Structure 1
């Protein structure tokens, strides 16, 4: 999830049309008002008309360099009653120490005690370029540590240059409860996503598909009939003034 900043012209165009814009290829520009699950990063305000039921909130990052630690990016504890929340941690490394785990689990507890309905923890990590075997070992350890009843979700990248194969992620079945497949880089949808989803026949893990606000999208036919498909998550672009 490497999107930041905002594009005023794009948001204005969406507000004027009030619907998904058509493109020459038959795809549509993703209008968040047509969805109910969202990624909301710190500093982002959802546009008017959005009615979220599921919200993925970035809590912090585990960055490279120095001892492993959670760098919190969100001030205070969210209070979003009537919605299901996922606490998201973006990771650049997997050598977490006990203090890192403790900080994340403490945040899960604090979010829940504030009256939120917390589904669990999502890890945002580029497994495609770092090796799935090491990631699987990390997730196995995390799953053992993560208190019940919280669930475990991960993001999945369509990594064309390396693995580009959903069956690589399928090897994580049994360790995680959900995969959210990201279909974009920056502010644009990755070309050729049809190819990727054609290879998801038989994918064994419940999954959602992440779209970027305003990005072009035409749903592949496979999604409507896939037994593990659970819907979409829209990555909202910042509407806050600089």
Structure 2
């Protein structure tokens, strides 16, 4: 899950939330990675030895804008992490994937598994606009059909989905994806006003995790502990130079 670069309009929307009042920073103690066991791990980032990871989301490649769609590999070699469950993450700027793109992704999933890893499935990291969830659902439905049944399908999601997403569109995702990982940060900082978004997630219909950024401010909203779809946290680890 990439650190987002939000548009000025979307950032303004955050500041118009009740209780935000143009805050410059979010409230809460800093996120300590050692308190969690699931992590986003980008190429070039090594987890600290003090961590006890149970699960990794590993960025494998990107499907970028421009030219014919293809998977741009970002990871040198095949990971070998037999003690952790792994998600292969593909970061996408476009949804017009062709057969070669999908074949490359399926090949990587198979290579990871053959290397002795416990591969859970594929995560698509795509910034789907809230009003475009219906179109995104069509793409994901086709991808789910092509994905071998032994792999789960995960997507990243913006907090705005819960506040302004069409209920019917969100419900359609519930029958396609196995989880949504909701991002709470922009860059290296937690988005102010996140509490207000989570108050609106009472009826969110899909199993979800919450993604936190290492060292970002976070105070868990009380409703999370009681939400029937909440599945825990994922921490985006920063490069050592940023610590």
Q: Shorter chain as normaliser: what TM range?
A: 0.7 to 0.9
Preserved contact between residue 212 and residue 234 of structure 1 (Cα < 8 Å): yes
> For 1:214 and 1:81, how far apart are their aligned partners in 2?
28
Matches within 5 A, 1:1-242: 1-3=1-3, 27-128=28-129, 131-159=132-160, 164-165=164-165, 167=167, 169-239=170-240
Preserved contact between residue 61 and residue 71 of structure 1 (Cα < 8 Å): yes
Unaligned runs of 5+ in 1: 5-23
Q: CA deviation at 1:148?
A: 1.4
Q: CA deviation at 1:2?
A: 3.0
Query: Normalising by structure 1, what TM-score?
Result: 0.86
Preserved contact between residue 158 and residue 165 of structure 1 (Cα < 8 Å): no
Unaligned runs of 5+ in 2: 5-24
Q: CA deviation at 1:26?
A: 6.1
1:96-128 Cα deviation digits (max 9, x unpaired): 000000000000000000000000000000012
Q: CA deviation at 1:129?
A: 5.8
1:59-99 Cα deviation digits (max 9, x unpaired): 00000000010000000000001110000000000000000
CA RMSD of aligned residues (A): 2.2
Q: How many residues were matched structurally?
A: 221
